[in-house]
Amino acid sequence: MIKRIVKMVFRKENIQDFIKFTGEIKETIKNHEGCLHLDILQDKKYPEIFFTYSCWNSEKDLANYRKSDFFNKIWPETKKWFAEKPLAWSTEVVHKTGKLNSLEEKFASFERILTIMDRIRNECPWDSEQTNESLRTLTIEETYELAEAVLKNEPENIKKELGDLFLHIIFYAKIAEEKQQFDIADVLNSISKKLIYRHPHVFENKEVSGSKEVAENWEVLKLKEKKNGNNNSVLGGIPNSLPAMIKAVRMQEKVRGVGFDWEEKEQVWDKVKEELAEFEAELKAGNDKKAEEEFGDVLFAMINAARLYGIDPESALERTNQKFIKRFNYLENNTIKKGLSLKDMSLDEMEAVWQQAKKEE
């Protein structure tokens, strides 16, 4: 039985790198002892995206491959490419056994969790006391934990955090069922109806040119739904409690759906420069309150630029946060090892250790 399946996803702007990479290693890795096959797949809906799946008999076989002369020859070049283009591709272990659950097994697992929820709601003192309000902050916490696992590309933790979040979904549905408001079937039927309505290119005969048009149609269809419900605001439905950066992204995505966007993405840089100049002018004038407002405009323009260039600003900033933490911890630890204190070091001395941390990455 296959013990390991590795999935590699290449971004569309790096297709030539993908072709070069797979062309060099496909036959070699395919014929290597312990490797059952290497599949190269093209996404049916988005042809510009490719995937590779490599299947190994065991972790030991994979480790042996990584010790081979071929791997040792190609890895330095690949590692260099990783460093230059860290977001070009991603890899993950899809499944360690290579055997995923059948539809019947999925139904059985769903029935099992619903049965468990019924029982703990009736028999557990803590679970029986929970309300929508008491669950709310916990749900937010679980959502952030899932987001962190996704950012770190940790399949096992993603699976765990999805389970935690799914528990909250059925918990809310159970509470509503007890109040005779709705149940989990209503929740699923509601989202099924919405997905069918918003995917006319799948369930009807509507043609689309690609993912961009799909996203634009999605926002137009959402707006039609709001009009039917007497809420015709393009920006309606965005929670006020969203973090400011995520809210900015969603606002920009929504207005783009109705055509309020730059004709050419490069035009956004003029806006960024304009906002930065206004911010600097207010700083020089000593207008603190106005400077804060203009700084917000700078951030909004930069978030807009990130969106136009396919960058998730929230993820990008969090990656920088993690990178900073790692480098500062290195600086701190190496200082302690030498019996020094950061307070006693000059900026030049700290910068030298910081640069060493960057090299070791």
Instruction: For 226-284, write each residue's pLDDT tens digit.
Output: 665 555 677 877 888 788 888 898 888 888 877 888 888 899 999 999 999 999 999 99
Task: Output the average pLDDT for the chain.
Answer: 79
Distance CA 238, CA 242 (A): 8
Q: What is the DSSP string of 233-293?
A: -TTTT--TTS-HHHHHHHHHHHHHTTT-S-SSGGGHHHHHHHHHHHHHHHHHHT-HHHHHH
Q: What are phi and psi of 7, to 5 degrees?
A: -110, 130
Read off the tokens for 133.
């309000």
Q: Which of 235-244's residues contact partners 24+ apart within 8 Å by CB, and which partners? A: 243/314
Give the tens place of pLDDT for each residue, 32-85. 666 665 555 555 555 555 555 566 666 677 777 777 776 777 667 666 655 665
Distance CA 217, CA 204 (A): 14
pTM of the model: 0.54
Distance CA 119, CA 174 (A): 11
Give the tens place of pLDDT for each residue, 333-356. 877 777 777 877 788 888 888 888
| SS3 assignment, position 43 | coil
180 pLDDT band, cuts 50/70/90, is very high
Kindly give, in sequence order, each residue whose CB lies less than 8 Å from that of residue 43, ignoring residues fewer than 6 positions away: 49, 50, 51
HEC letters along 87-120 = CCEEEEEEECCCCCCCHHHHHHHHHHHHHHHHHH
* DSSP single-letter state for residue 2: -
pLDDT of 194: 87
192 pLDDT band, cuts 50/70/90, is very high
Mean pLDDT of 191-218: 81
* Residue predicted with more confidence, 9 or 140: 140
| Closest residue by Cα to residue 5 from 121, 95, 84 | 95
Q: Which of 25-32's residues contact partners 24+ apart within 8 Å by CB, and which partners? A: 25/70, 25/74, 28/70, 29/54, 29/65, 32/65, 32/68, 32/70
Distance CA 356, CA 339 (A): 18
199 pLDDT band, cuts 50/70/90, is confident
Alpha helices by DSSP H, listed for the chain, are 15-31, 59-66, 69-84, 103-123, 125-129, 132-151, 155-178, 184-197, 200-203, 211-228, 244-256, 268-285, 288-308, 313-337, 347-360
Amino acid letter, 33: E
Give the tens place of pLDDT for each residue, 90-139. 555 555 555 667 788 888 889 999 999 999 999 999 999 999 999 988 99
pLDDT of 230: 52
Distance CA 29, CA 161 (A): 33
Q: Are strands 4-10 and 89-95 parallel, antiparallel or unpaired?
A: antiparallel
Distance CA 152, CA 36 (A): 28
pLDDT of 343: 78
- Asked if residue 2 has pLDDT above 50, the reply is no
Q: 312 to each of 16, 32, 129, 151, 240, how far by Cα in Å? A: 23, 38, 39, 11, 20
Distance CA 289, CA 286 (A): 9
* Residue predicted with more confidence, 328 or 223: 328
Give the tens place of pLDDT for each residue, 95-106. 555 566 778 888
* Residue predicted with more confidence, 77 or 287: 287
| Closest residue by Cα to residue 331 from 359, 301, 298, 357 | 357
Tokens 């977001």 belong to residue: 87
* Residue predicted with more confidence, 286 or 152: 286
| Cβ contact 174:119 at 8 Å | no
Distance CA 167, CA 138 (A): 11
Kindly give, in sequence order, each residue whose CB lies less than 8 Å from that of residue 87, ignoring residues fewer than 6 positions away: 11
pLDDT of 167: 95
| SS3 assignment, position 150 | helix
Distance CA 355, CA 328 (A): 11
315 pLDDT band, cuts 50/70/90, is confident
